[in-house]
Each structure stands twice: as C-alpha cells, then as structure tokens.
C-alpha cells in the first residue's frame, strides 16, 4: 500500500454542531486539514443507505439499500474494503450499531469489533479504545471507526443541536483527537458524518439533514484549506487514491486528493 488510511464516521454530526460543540480541538482539526462544511449526504439521508454510498461510491438508487435494512444488490458494485483487500491491503472495522456489518463483504476484514451501544454510557469512547488497540497491535492499512452516540443518544434522544447532542459531539471529537495522536504520520485520517438531522429525526431533503462536514488530514491534503461542496460519493475514490489502490469502474465520486 502507498499509504494507510483511517476513516471516522460521526453519525448525524451537522457542520454547525461541529462548530458549536465547544471542544477546543476543532480548531486544530481545521488548521491541519483540507475540509468542507458544505458536503452532501445522500437521499434518503438515512444511516445505512449513506454508509453504503460511502463505501460503494454510488447513490442508494444504484446500490439498492434505501432503508436501514441491507438489501443484497441485483447488480453489485464492488466496495472500498473489497477493493483494498484484493489489492493486498488489510482492513479493520469498529462499530456500535449492528446493521453496519453489511458495509463490507465477509472476508475483506482482518478484524471487526461490534459493541451494543445501547447498554453503554459511551460506546464511542469504548469503541475508540478498541480501535486504538488494533492500530497498535495490527497496524491495518485501512481502519473504519463508526461513532454512533451523536445520533442515537444525542439527536434522536434529545434533539439535534441540543446540549446533549453537542456534548456527544464533544466526546466524538475527543475520540478523533486520540486517534490522530496515535496515528501520527503513518496514517491519513478522514473524518466525516453520514447525514445531519433536525428536531429528533433525519431522512428528509432539508439542508439540516443533507449537509455534512468532511476533514482530510494527511500529506495528500493541503492543511487549513476550506473548500465548498464534496459528497459521500467522493470518499471511496479519495481513500483508494491515497492508498494507491485503483478505483472501481462503477464508482461515481471524485478523488479529492492532490
């Protein structure tokens, strides 16, 4: 592999939620990354369809999963983890919500860990600790860390932009900080959200649901550079390019790396 990548998805994190969360590390994140606060989620702005688009670089009407129930596709699009695996790379994944298991096909991972988030005060903190252990023990080429508390215990339980929601974002940003400190120069780290939210829900075409932030931290990206736009579809082509892996023919997004 040309380079290693960590992808962190913070479920339901709106750009204005990121800016308002109050964690001092957000300024470091913007200073060290190429970033956008106006990227697009997918329609429907729902967790599993959005993550399937993140990993297959096609919209939900193409990959076929349009709800939080995985639908085996009639015409499969090869995903990012399968492409990395076939190129000789080693992938790992850590997630706190069970349906996320379907974003990669069995056999493409060297290590997956799932935590039942509902029984824990902070699944995000615990999952991040496990991901850090994996980085130390296995040094995978690609690691996916999915943080769920922002959406479940923040937005859905208490409302988007509520203090409880912002507090969950603060915890997620602390997790990002801990990952970046361990990752050092060895990894490019990409932080995204799958969708936003409003009131105590999401899934609509409202800007509050559809607008997400993305941060790209590492040598292939210019630091302290804000850009407009970007899409979940751009993540798989960008990660493949950073790793020196060829993109899949069907992928529709753009490589954002220089």
Positions that interact with Zn ion (CB under 5 A): 11, 47, 151, 194
CB of 52 to Zn ion, least distance (A): 12
Nearer Cβ to Zn ion, position 104 or 257?
A: 104
Q: Report which of 111, 108, 124 is spatially closest to residue 171, judged by C-alpha positions.
A: 124
Helix (H) or strand (E) holding 112: strand 109-114
Nearer Cβ to Zn ion, position 70 or 227?
A: 70
Check residue 246 and report its DSSP letter.
P
CB of 105 to Zn ion, least distance (A): 21
Are 125 and 171 in contact by the 8 Å Cβ rule? The answer is yes
Residue nearest to Zn ion (CB): 47
CA distance 204 to 195: 10
What φ, ψ does residue 107 adopt, rounded to 5°? Answer: 100, -15
Nearer Cβ to Zn ion, position 132 or 193?
A: 193
CB of 6 to Zn ion, least distance (A): 19
Nearer Cβ to Zn ion, position 141 or 194?
A: 194
Residue 7, exposed/middle/buried by CB under 10 A (0-12, 13-18, 19+)? buried
CB of 12 to Zn ion, least distance (A): 5
């Amino acid at each position: 592999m040309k380079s290693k990548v960590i992808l962190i998805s913070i479920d339901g994190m709106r750009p204005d939620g990121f800016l308002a969360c109050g964690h001092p590390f957000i300024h470091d994140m913007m200073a060290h990354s190429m970033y956008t606060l106006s990227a697009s989620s997918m329609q429907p702005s729902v967790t599993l369809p959005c993550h399937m688009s993140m990993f297959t670089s096609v919209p939900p009407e193409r990959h076929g999963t349009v709800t939080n129930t995985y639908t085996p596709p009639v015409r499969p699009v090869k995903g990012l983890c399968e492409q990395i695996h076939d190129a000789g790379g080693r992938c790992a994944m850590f997630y706190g919500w069970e349906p996320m298991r379907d974003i990669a096909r069995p056999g493409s991972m060297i290590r997956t860990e799932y935590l039942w988030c509902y029984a824990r005060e902070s699944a995000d903190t615990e999952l991040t600790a496990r991901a850090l252990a994996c980085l130390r023990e296995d040094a995978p080429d690609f690691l996916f860390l999915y943080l769920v508390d922002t959406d479940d215990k923040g937005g859905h339980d208490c409302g988007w932009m509520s203090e409880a929601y912002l507090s969950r974002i603060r915890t997620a940003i602390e997790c990002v900080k801990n990952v970046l400190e361990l990752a050092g120069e060895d990894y490019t780290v990409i932080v995204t959200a799958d969708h936003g939210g409003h009131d105590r829900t999401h899934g609509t075409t409202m800007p509050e649901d559809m607008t997400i932030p993305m941060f790209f931290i590492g040598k292939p990206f210019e630091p302290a550079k804000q850009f407009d736009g970007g899409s979940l579809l751009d993540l798989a082509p960008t990660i493949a390019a950073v790793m020196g892996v060829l993109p899949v023919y069907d992928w529709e997004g753009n490589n954002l790396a220089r």
